[in-house]
């Protein structure tokens, strides 16, 4: 499908696999925008926690989502960040209470419908790399390039462990692995739009690859597709 400004590059995969790092590199190289759609589910989770809304009350969470003014603005020229009612929500959404509870909000059918619509609007002109869990299968099933990025749970846990250690933060490898396995289960077993491989996605197992190498593989595919589109 040809869109006005460029291609739609859709990327899915499990938690902690490096989708944001890789997606950001690809977007920067192409002069595209990048969006991590998990941040939208996290932003709503954070706001609901702040307002004391019961996360399992689907109607109340959806009503909150609809009351908010959602905006997405690039803060580093590439990555679009979520603003709620004019305020950027960037550090708050990384709080542990948000990580632990966001799958409850992601299981809300009305919220998924609303956020999918916002995501389609953001991508309708193209020139975007969008990552999440259901982008290749549900949000943009007609994306120009579809990637499913994977890595073993042990490797994802090790990466997170090294990240925390190098930031001087406490880290327990077994705890991290258990959290990753729990998040995988939530994503794969969700009733609506669970994480799955689109049949036509390029599957990349990054267990033994650097993020730069993965970005290079995706860029080759994106450039080839962009060239084909011009013919
Ligand atoms: O990628 P992440 O872990 O920051 O995502 C936060 C939550 O949102 C997590 O529960 C998975 C969910 N999610 C989703 O259901 N669909 C998406 N497109 C992106 C994220």
CATH number at residue 98: 3.40.50.300
Position 78 in a domain: yes
Instruction: Compute, in angstroms, the gap from residue 83 CA to the centroid of ligand 1.
Output: 17
CB 167 within 8 A of CB 160: no
Of 11, 38, 44, 112, the one to substitute when testing ligand 1's pocket (max ligand atoms within 8 A of C-beta) is 38
Residues pairing with 102 in the sheet: none
The residue segments making up the domain with residue 68 are: 8-218
Position 191 in a domain: yes
Nearest CA-CA partner of 216 in 35, 80, 30: 30
Position 3 in a domain: no
Position 231 in a domain: no
Position 2 in a domain: no
Position 225 in a domain: no
Position 100 in a domain: yes
pLDDT digits (tens, 9 = 90+) for 48-92: 999 999 999 999 999 999 999 999 999 888 999 999 999 999 999
pTM for the model: 0.95
Write down the residue that tokens 């890595």 correspond to: 151
């Amino acid at each position: 499908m040809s869109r006005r400004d460029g291609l739609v590059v859709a990327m899915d995969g499990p938690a902690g696999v490096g989708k944001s790092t890789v997606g950001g590199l690809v977007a920067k190289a192409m002069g595209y925008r990048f969006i991590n759609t998990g941040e939208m589910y996290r932003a709503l989770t954070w706001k609901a926690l702040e307002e004391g809304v019961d996360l399992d009350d689907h109607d109340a969470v959806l009503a909150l989502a609809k009351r908010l003014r959602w905006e997405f603005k690039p803060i580093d020229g590439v990555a679009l960040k979520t603003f709620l009612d004019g305020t950027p929500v960037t550090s708050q959404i990384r709080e542990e209470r948000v990580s632990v509870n966001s799958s409850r909000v992601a299981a809300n059918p009305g919220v998924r419908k609303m956020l999918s619509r916002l995501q389609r609007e953001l991508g309708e002109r193209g020139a975007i790399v969008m990552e999440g869990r259901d982008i290749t299968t549900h949000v943009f099933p007609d994306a120009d390039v579809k990637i499913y990025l994977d890595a073993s749970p042990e490797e994802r846990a090790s990466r997170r462990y090294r990240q925390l250690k190098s930031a001087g933060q406490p880290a327990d490898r077994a705890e991290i692995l258990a959290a990753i396995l729990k998040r995988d289960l939530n994503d794969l077993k969700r009733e609506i739009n669970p994480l799955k491989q689109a049949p036509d996605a390029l599957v990349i197992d990054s267990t033994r690859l650097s993020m730069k190498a993965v970005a290079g593989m995706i860029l080759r595919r994106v450039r080839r597709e962009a060239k084909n589109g011009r013919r």
